[in-house]
Amino acid sequence: MDARLTRRRFLGAAALGIGAAAVAPARALARSGRYVDPGPPLLDLRSFGVVADGRTDDGPALARAFAGIKRAGGLTLAKPGTLLVGRTVVVPDGVFLDLGGSTVVRAPGLAGPALLVSGAGVVLQRLTVDGNRRGGASGPAIEWQGARGGLWDATLVNTDTAGLVARVAGADVACVRVTSTDHVSGVSSADGFYAALGGRLRLRGCRASGNDRAGVYLESSAAEGCEVDGAFDRNRIAGAYLKAPRGTSRLLQATDNDRFGVIMKQGASGWVFTRVEVTGAGRPGNSSVTGIELYGTQGNRFGAAVVRGVTGYGVALAKGDVDGTPASGNSFELIDVDRGGTGDSDPGLHLSGGASRNAFGTVRVTAMTSAVSIGEGYLPLTNDGNSFQLVHAERCPYTVVIVRGGSGNRFERIEAVGCSTVDPAIAQGLVDFRGPSTQGNVVTFLDASAVAAGGAPAPLYLAFADAQAQDNQVLGGKAGRSLDGAGADRNGSNRFNVA
């Protein structure tokens, strides 16, 4: 019997519940955005001896199938099943494998990936890979070493390392609608997706959850040009942990991760993000979860950064590790942070450790301790030359903007609605300058006319400078009610003009 399924036979089989989309014309596939056209007719894996009963080792039969189609061949299972593999199966050049929803599961005790993609131009789609961590197997579900690869509509589960690993120079795989979940090492080192040593991951519409390190982890040694689009939730350290340089993201959503929604370290410079959404504070009882942290990174560009319900900083720009670089030259068109409920949290936007020459368009902060904090935490205190077009703060109980170390920062407009200074030991003014390193900062316009809205107590002052801060200015604005006056300058060198 001829093992080949012609396009006509395969399409006809759709009436029996066998997916036919994999052999549809390429033009229709491009319109639907669903599957990759395999080109030639597909071969049924059972003709190579694959049993797919979940008990028989199908590894040798898979190897025969890959060798039998030579280059640019297409393989499928006319009737989906479960393929047990007792050793790592190597996938060579040009293989197209559409498993139609079948599962590949590692045999107990297998040390190594279920599938090792060594060839270029490999496409795998419509499959689940079960790493069988609970059955004693170890290693990733799939290790990708080939160039120009694609993994489509797949699920990767239950490993002790990572769902998908790309960690050799030249490895390059586009993942489209891939879910990677429940990867647990026991020492917080397992990820949904992992790249290093020259590997490149391009995630498009992917999801990673329940992993004991990150949804996606890109080492500093990963290749430039990674893409991170998708949803990353309930991971133990971060939704996305980025160290690789010059990547892109159109939409990155991070929900209920335990320490960070997104963290970027020194190597992760030159990224371009269209929209980042971070929601939630991880598991109950977490003391501090930061939405987005740029830890010594430079030259990253964000369109919108929207953070909801975190207990730590909304967005933080800080110095890197000891002797590391400061976060500088980053830009945000919009930061929108809302703690929800009370303002018992960290600031909405925090700059420290020499964060300099960063540019912010609109910063909108609701119900955080303060809207913007500069200088607290990491040394040095040279958080200089940052610019802010608009800071809009609502229901921030401790202050709106506080500068404890930084010079030449400029705020074009600050709006305070229902904000206060409930603890004078922290801040006495809605705009508060403190310390000898705080010099020459300028607020062009402060609108404090709504400071008492919503039942908030009046602040002590609208603008304040302690005895060490010098040459800071509020050039104009609209005054609101305050307890001890519109402005207080403790050394006479600062100028506040809020009438």
**Please, are residues 55 and 84 in contact by the beta-carbon 8 Å criterion?**
yes
Say what the pTM is: 0.91
Query: Looking at the predicted structure, is the pLDDT value of residue 85 above 90?
Result: yes
The pLDDT value recorded for residue 17 is: 30
- Of the candidates 207, 194, 202, 203, which has an alpha carbon nearest to the alpha carbon of residue 253? 207
Question: What's the mean pLDDT when you consider all of the chain?
Answer: 90
Reply yes or no on whether the pLDDT at 30 is more than 70. no
Greater pLDDT, 33 or 472: 472
Reported as a single tens digit per residue, the pLDDT across 435-462 is 999 999 999 999 999 865 557 889 999 9
What pLDDT, on a 0 to 100 scale, did the predictor assign at position 33? 52
Select from 326, 320, 329, 253 the least CA-distant residue to 292.
Answer: 253
Q: How far apart are CA 496 and CA 499, in angstroms?
A: 9
Query: How would you write 359-417 as a 3-class SS string?
Result: EEEEEEEECCCCCEEECCCCCCCCCCCCEEEEEEEECCCCCCEEECCEECCEECCEEEE
Instruction: Please write the tens of the pLDDT for every residue from 250-275.
Output: 999 999 999 999 999 989 999 999 99
Rounded percentage of the chain residues whose pLDDT exceeds 90: 82
pLDDT in the model for residue 320? 78
Pair 363, 392: CB distance under 8 Å: yes
Q: Is the peptide bond before 380 cis (omega within 30 degrees of 0)?
A: yes
pLDDT tens profile 379-403: 899 999 999 999 999 999 999 999 9
* 422, pLDDT greater than 50: yes
Q: What is the 8-class DSSP label of residue 298?
A: B
What average pLDDT does this structure show over 303-325? 90
The answer, yes or no, to whether residue 357 has pLDDT greater than 70, is yes
290, amino acid identity: T
What are the tens digits of pLDDT across the range 115-126? 999 999 999 999
- pLDDT value at residue 322: 63
Q: What is the pLDDT of residue 9?
A: 31
pLDDT digits (tens, 9 = 90+) for 327-337: 999 999 999 99
- Mean pLDDT, rounded, for 72-101: 93
The model's pLDDT over 178-209, given as tens digits with 9 standing for 90+, comes to 999 999 999 999 999 999 999 999 999 999 99
DSSP string, 244-279: SSS-EEEEEEEES-SSEEEEEETT--S-EEEEEEEE
Encode pLDDT of 146-186 as tens digits.
999 999 999 999 999 999 999 999 999 999 999 999 999 99
Give the pLDDT of residue 484. 93
User: Nearest to residue 393, comparing CAs of 354, 434, 348?
Assistant: 348
Q: Which amino acid is at 26?
A: A
What is residue 451's predicted lDDT score, i.e. its pLDDT? 65
